A and B are shown apart, each in its own frame.
Chain A
Amino acid sequence: DVKVTQSSRYLVKRTGEKVFLECVQDMDHENMFWYRQDPGLGLRLIYFSYDVKMKEKGDIPEGYSVSREKKERFSLILESASTNQTSMYLCASSKQGPRSDTQYFGPGTRLTVL
């Protein structure tokens, strides 16, 4: 069965802290993605990676960075958390290819920055 896991379901951090969100997939997928989801704004792509050590900016990369040292793991980093980064963060993965499969999502991490 397809599995994408995220390190925490709920996280509370203080302004200025460095925050790591971890995502692991066990499907040997090449592509991995980080989104945030906010009421009224929907899902927005922050960063994605199509291979180990490769990363590409999505639509809203400001204030975030990512790391992909291993194929199965994709980390989202908030260098200095701010209150406007309070959100639901969703990780996803997919296979590569012209008829590539859908994206499979992890359960999400609800981050609150105080």
Chain B
Amino acid sequence: GQNIDQPTEMTATEGAIVQINCTYQTSGFNGLFWYQQHAGEAPTFLSYNVLDGLEEKGRFSSFLSRSKGYSYLLLKELQMKDSASYLCAVRDRRYSTLTFGKGTMLLVSP
């Protein structure tokens, strides 16, 4: 099975940098995903890591350490529209199913 932990809530200021951590225990790891979900909307894909290291995509970066069962999502130059829930998800090796963490609600204030 999978067990995924991430903080419930975080707050940050516009223009700042925030790091959202995710730890996981899994029996068959095949990649880690980050999704963004605004209130009342569907999750949208942000990033994907399957090898150790940092993946950068504009203002967003994601890091993975498979040996530590650890990932983080880094958001730079925060904007008000970044206020959303951020979901960490681990993919199963056999069926490509995703197990999601409970999500981190990020509130960006002026």
Of the candidate stretches A11-19, A60-68, A78-86, A101-109, the one touching chain B is A101-109
Total residues of chain A contacting the partner, CB 8 A:
26
Question: Cβ of A43 and Cβ of B87 under 8 Å apart?
Answer: yes
Q: A107 to B42: give the CA distance in the assembly, Å.
A: 5
Question: Cβ of B48 and Cβ of A102 under 8 Å apart?
Answer: yes
Q: A41 to B8: give the CA distance in the assembly, Å.
A: 11
Question: Cβ of A105 and Cβ of B43 under 8 Å apart?
Answer: yes
Q: Which residues in A have some Cβ–Cβ distance to B below 8 Å?
A: 31, 33, 40-45, 48, 50, 56, 58-59, 90, 94, 96, 98-100, 102-108
Question: Cβ of A90 and Cβ of B102 under 8 Å apart?
Answer: no
B81 shortest CB reach to chain A, Å: 19
Chain A residues whose CB sits within 8 angstroms of the CB of B43 once the complex forms = 43, 90, 105
Q: Give the 5 A-B residue pairs with the shortest CB-CB distance, closest first.
A: A42-B102, A105-B42, A43-B100, A102-B45, A42-B100
Total residues of chain B contacting the partner, CB 8 A:
20
B33 interface contact, C-beta 8 A: yes
Query: Number of contacts between A and B (CB, 8 Å)?
Result: 47
* Extra A-B contacts (18), CB below 8 Å, given A48-B97, A96-B96: A41-B102, A42-B101, A42-B103, A43-B43, A43-B87, A43-B89, A43-B100, A45-B98, A48-B95, A94-B96, A99-B50, A102-B48, A103-B33, A104-B45, A105-B43, A105-B44, A107-B42, A108-B42
Question: Cβ of A100 and Cβ of B96 under 8 Å apart?
Answer: yes
Chain A residues whose CB sits within 8 angstroms of the CB of B48 once the complex forms = 102
Q: A58 to B96: give the CA distance in the assembly, Å.
A: 12
30 sample A-B contacts, Cβ–Cβ < 8 Å, listed by A number: A31-B96, A33-B97, A33-B98, A40-B102, A41-B102, A42-B100, A42-B102, A42-B103, A43-B43, A43-B89, A43-B100, A44-B100, A45-B97, A48-B95, A50-B95, A50-B96, A90-B42, A90-B43, A96-B96, A100-B96, A102-B48, A103-B33, A104-B45, A105-B42, A105-B43, A105-B44, A107-B41, A107-B42, A108-B41, A108-B42
